Amino acid sequence: MNIEILAMSAFFVIVGILLWIDRKNVQFSFGIIIRRWKRGLEFIDTLIKKYPKAIKITGYTAVVIGFLVCIGGFLGLLVCDILGIKLFGMVLPTAGGYEYPGPIVGVPFWYWIIAIFIILFVHETMHGVFSRAAKVPIKNYGIMLLLLLPIGAFVEPDMKKVKKLKIREKLQIFAAGSFANFVTAFVCFLLVLLFSLLILIPTVKPYIIEPYGVFVNETMVGYPAHDVNLTGFITSANGIQIKTSEDLSNVLNNTNVGDEITIITTDSNYTMKTVPRPDNQTESFIGISSGKTFYTYSGWSATLLNLFGWLIALNVGIGIANLLPWKPFDGGLMIEEVFVKTFKKKGKIITKILTFIVLALILYNLFGIKQL
């Protein structure tokens, strides 16, 4: 069995055992599992007292960006539907290389688990921060699972007091979650750039990237490599692993002129006979005029970069989707506050109509536009 599937199975077993042990504090309802906590909420109050100016600036920034994304996201979705551009896809964890059919994006299981916890933590924590900044009590916070799969998290402020807040305070609470997701994505982007800069440091470079093979950029007409149309990255020669151009030279130096040599590349397997080098008739040659060592990220750095990539994509995607003008998501709550303030009772009706329009646009984008 695939090691990733085994690890995923072990994760579900551990989660199941923990839930069973803690079953008195867990709510079960039709496959949905909810676990609430109260511990740790004092951290939010400490944060607010320590950085009041930063919280205030962040709140206003979140609202501005929230409305820009709300309006821009709606217009972008509308244009994409009109032009037939696929924009939305359901995101689910996958393992063992399994690919979902239809408009489902498969995220490797462990990337998905790590990403979902980070996304939910920053999102819900920021909702909590601005609820407390507005003096609204938080009853608890918690996590939601579908069977044993984490699918959501939440904070539960006193909604009666939220409704009594000024519109500015409400908007900050609603916008804060997605803003935190965008900030997380930006931090991950900076970390990716940092990796690119670290490669420039000779002493650090070997720990981040490693040679992968020799890239065949050009072959010489009339020589064996050109005759067999050698392409791709050379990874093996006569059964010897090739990572650098020096590795390939060593194999050729140990092969007699006229001997048969087997080259394996990322494109195919090739067999040819060596010929004398144009500048040294005693050395073997196959006619690669431009072959450079190709480097790839090492195991740990590739794993981190993949994780950062998924964190960027998922944080941005979830942040935008959450800020679209549809209830009960944050973008819909923000728009409703503005419409009610402007149009009174008609504001709620306008918001409902807009919610149905957004839902229809998303469903059409998901199922009405064919995957390229």
> Which tens digit of pLDDT belongs to each residue from 81-127?
999 888 877 788 887 777 777 677 888 888 988 999 999 989 999 99
Q: Is residue 292, in this structure, part of any structural domain at all?
A: no
My answer on whether 188 and 327 are in the same domain is: yes
My answer on whether 280 and 305 are in the same domain is: no
My answer on whether 246 and 139 are in the same domain is: no
Q: Can you say whether residue 292 is alpha, beta or left, with left for phi > 0 and alpha for psi between -120 and 50 degrees?
A: beta
Segments forming the whole domain that contains residue 227: 221-286
Tokens 């093996």 sit on residue = 236
Q: Is residue 11, in this structure, part of any structural domain at all?
A: no
Reading the block at residue 147, the tokens are 């069977």
My answer on whether 315 and 280 are in the same domain is: no
My answer on whether 192 and 73 are in the same domain is: yes
Contact by Cβ (8 Å): 247, 240: yes
**What share of the chain has pLDDT > 90, as a percent?**
50
Mention every residue, 6+ apart, whose C-beta is less than 8 A from residue 282: 257, 276
Q: What total of structural domains would you count in the chain?
A: 2
pLDDT band at 146 (very low <50, low <70, confident <90, very high): confident
Cα–Cα nearest to 124, from 97, 151, 148, 155: 155
Within the chain, what is the greatest distance between any pair of CA atoms?
92
Higher pLDDT, 50 or 39: 50
Contact by Cβ (8 Å): 152, 144: yes
pLDDT band at 27 (very low <50, low <70, confident <90, very high): confident
Mention every residue, 6+ apart, whose C-beta is less than 8 A from residue 213: 233, 234, 235, 242, 243, 265, 266, 293, 294
My answer on whether 153 and 180 are in the same domain is: yes
Tokens 């821009």 sit on residue = 72
Give buried/exposed letters for 141-179 (b at 16+ CB in 10 A, else e).
Answer: bbbbbeeebbeebbbbbeeeebeebeeebbbbbbbbbbb
Q: Is residue 331, in this structure, part of any structural domain at all?
A: yes
